[in-house]
Amino acid sequence: MLLVAFLTIGLTAPLTAQIYKSDNLEIIRLSDHIFQHISYLETQNFGKVSCNGMIVVKDHEAVVFDTPAEDQAAQELIMWIKTNLNSKVKAVVSTHFHADCLGALNTFHQAGVPSYAQVLTLELAKQQHFPVPQHGFRQSQVLQVGDMSVQVGYFGAGHTRDNVVAYVPAEKIMFGGCLIKEIGAGKGNLEDADERAWPLTVQKVKARYPALKLIIPGHGKVGGAELLDYTIKLFAKTQTSK
């Protein structure tokens, strides 16, 4: 059931505001061109988990980072972008191979949206019989959204072997995915993690993007560069205790 849908691209609204909410999907505006999408995944070990993604919009084009967890939410998201932002989704990027990143990938494919991911993501998704992204890159991929670029980069293992981050230089906003933890979070799902490499990988991310102002983690609340420091400290304990 639709609860809130009060902003279209031509209306004035405060930044960092919830602009859409249904039973399956929530959308929060973070800047003029960046939105956070939130969907929900039922898990065996952690119950119902909220999962973040990012939408970048400019000049009637949009790129989505991580699919919603379920197909219904993905359908809502694609339609919301078309109807409320008057934009076409030109690409979807999965930041690693878990269901909270590509669970609804087939919905995007059925809508004619091309998909991208790090080459390991393609390999691991295929092994797990998950939907497989169509196009792979190794270290980096730059996507254009109108006249604005988004840098997608692979810095090493952490939450998974294939996790990447996406950075929008014009907005100084990053989607960290599950590589980056919200403040106060625990270590979460470690089934495919490399705990020793994790803090080193995040240190590389921090060094590469010193000007960033806002980070969307894979789960939980948006924050600033302190999310990088928190994640580094959380997993640095692993290195000293082994």
Cα end-to-end span (Å), the chain = 49
- Choosing from 51, 159, 162, 163, the catalytic residue is 159
Q: Which helix (H) or strand (E) covers residue 23, if one does?
A: none
- Angstrom distance (rounded) from CA 230 to CA 199: 10
- Choosing from 24, 33, 96, 162, the catalytic residue is 96
Annotated catalytic residue 100:
yes
Annotated catalytic residue 33:
no
- Choosing from 33, 37, 58, 219, the catalytic residue is 219
Annotated catalytic residue 189:
yes
Contact predicate 153/137, CB 8 Å = no
- Choosing from 106, 189, 204, 206, the catalytic residue is 189
Annotated catalytic residue 181:
yes
- Angstrom distance (rounded) from CA 216 to CA 220: 8
Annotated catalytic residue 98:
yes
- Residue 77, both tokens: 């998201």
- Choosing from 100, 101, 163, 194, the catalytic residue is 100
Annotated catalytic residue 109:
no
Annotated catalytic residue 37:
no
Sheet of 140-145, strands arranged across: 140-145, 148-154, 164-168, 173-177, 214-217
- What are the residue numbers of the active site? 96, 98, 100, 159, 178, 181, 189, 219
